[in-house]
Amino acid sequence: MTAIDRFQAIFGWLLFLMLFSACSQDEFVQRQNYGRAQGSTYQVSYISTPGIDHQSSIDSLFLAVDMSLSAWEPNSSISKLNRGDTLFQKDERLWAVMDSAFLLWKESKGFFDISMGAVIHCWGFHRKTNAVPTDSALAQAMASSGWDKVHRKKDSLWLSEGAQLDVNGIAQGYTVDLIAQLLESRGVRHYMVEVGGELRCKGRNIDDKVWRIGIDKPTDEQLEDRLQRVLPLKDRALATSGNYRKFIEDPTTGRRHGHSIDPNTGRSTNDRLLSATVIAASATKADAWGTALMACGFKGAREWVQEQPGLEAYLIYTDKKGEWAEWFSPGFPR
């Protein structure tokens, strides 16, 4: 083969690779599915071939999760359980959440506790009545809380009288993981799944860039520039918890009581920690740890994050001057 022949062969091979690469890129699109679910919104973006759309499967999954975990669905498993019914047939999704919640309860030394449903209900954040519960009402709710009030035997599940479960601090993260598993089972390798602010990302977007995620400023005001930070997230999950949107304001004192409850006291934490953004391997874990960090306050949150392997966090808090300040764990992306 002459030098010219070799050049033509190499040039032809390079041209083929360039054309193949261009065609391959044209064969893929970034699909977006979005809507309302679980009292909030969701957005799912993924790379697929044209004509592939997982919207109906995702919506069906939301309905299935609601029938297991939604306190707003009167016929859901958790609603029946909280009404005092015994579940004689195993609900796989409810049991999976309970198993994860129990492990996270032990890891967080009790600061994440879904057995505190009676206390959460006593505070009534969902009712928005601005009525602070009395000491006697809280004492009664605390007496009805705790994992010793949760009973399982074979496939049956029931609660002690007056006990309730509250899975709001883990359900959305769990749902994100289920959607991610659904996409991966369909061969999707690049996606971003977000439900109510809890996220999980894998791979890259259609521009071959790492997914970038915005973190809201810790305020209930409607700001045009609402993002505190934007950060890259690859092959990890992220969740943010805060007290700035869900709270009770005492009409007498004007004091705000955030919805982060200390399981040790049953009372609002009222700490200078405004929000906790957690990165973990799963959205279930990130969601639960965000709740736990808010419950234990700024000082405790810093200590917990540095003790937990595979956990990174970004904390926004008020300093001694009353101004916003930030704290990052060593491995948190910036």
Q: Are 81 and 74 in contact, with CB atoms under 8 Å apart?
A: no
- Exposed/middle/buried for residue 243 (C-beta within 10 Å: 0-12, 13-18, 19+): buried
For residue 104, what pLDDT is reported? 96
User: Across the strands, what pairs with 277?
Assistant: 240, 314
Distances (CA, A) of 235 to 213, 232, 275, 286: 13, 10, 23, 13
Tell me 276's DSSP state: E
Residue 140: Cβ within 10 Å count: 15
Q: Helix (H, G, I), strand (E, B), or coil: what is residue 96?
A: helix
Element (H, E) at 139: helix 135-143
Note whether 236 and 220 are within 8 A (CB): no
CA distance 167 to 183: 24
Residue 18 confidence (pLDDT):
39
Measure Cα distances from 263 to 64, 122, 210, 231, 238 in Å.
Answer: 30, 13, 38, 32, 24
Per-residue DSSP letters for 191-250?
Answer: EEEEETTEEEEESB-TTS-B-EEEEE-S-SS--SS-EEEEEE--S-EEEEEESSSSEEE-
CA pair distance 11, 19, nearest whole angstrom = 12
d(CA 280, CA 310): 6
pLDDT for the residue numbered 9: 39
Strand-pair partners of 159: 150
Q: What local confidence, expressed as pLDDT, does residue 21 receive?
A: 41
Q: What is the DSSP string of 40-92?
A: EEEEEEEEE-TT---HHHHHHHHHHHHHHH-TTSTTSHHHHHHTT--B-S--H
Which structure tokens are listed for 16?
Answer: 């083929």
SS (H, E, C) 33-47: EEEEECCEEEEEEEE
Asked if residue 190 lies in contact with residue 46, where contact means CB atoms within 8 angstroms, the answer is yes
pLDDT for the residue numbered 125: 74
Neighbours of 303 (CB within 10 A): 10
pLDDT at 249: 65
Residue 114 tokens read as: 């879904």
- 48 forms beta bridges with 29
Residue-level pLDDT, tens digit, the chain, 334 residues: 443 344 343 334 333 333 334 434 458 999 999 999 998 999 999 999 999 999 999 999 999 999 999 999 999 999 999 999 999 999 999 999 999 999 999 999 999 999 999 999 998 877 666 678 889 999 999 999 999 999 999 999 999 999 999 999 999 999 999 999 999 999 999 999 999 999 999 999 999 999 999 999 887 776 677 899 999 999 999 999 987 666 666 666 656 666 789 999 999 888 899 999 999 999 999 999 999 999 999 999 999 999 999 999 999 999 999 899 999 999 999 8
What CATH superfamily classification does 29-328 receive? ApbE-like domains (3.10.520.10)
> What global pTM score does this model have?
0.88
pLDDT of residue 253: 65
pLDDT at residue 154 in the model: 92
Q: Where are the chain's structural domains?
A: 29-328
CB atoms within 10 A of CB 156: 12
**Predicted pLDDT of residue 181:** 98
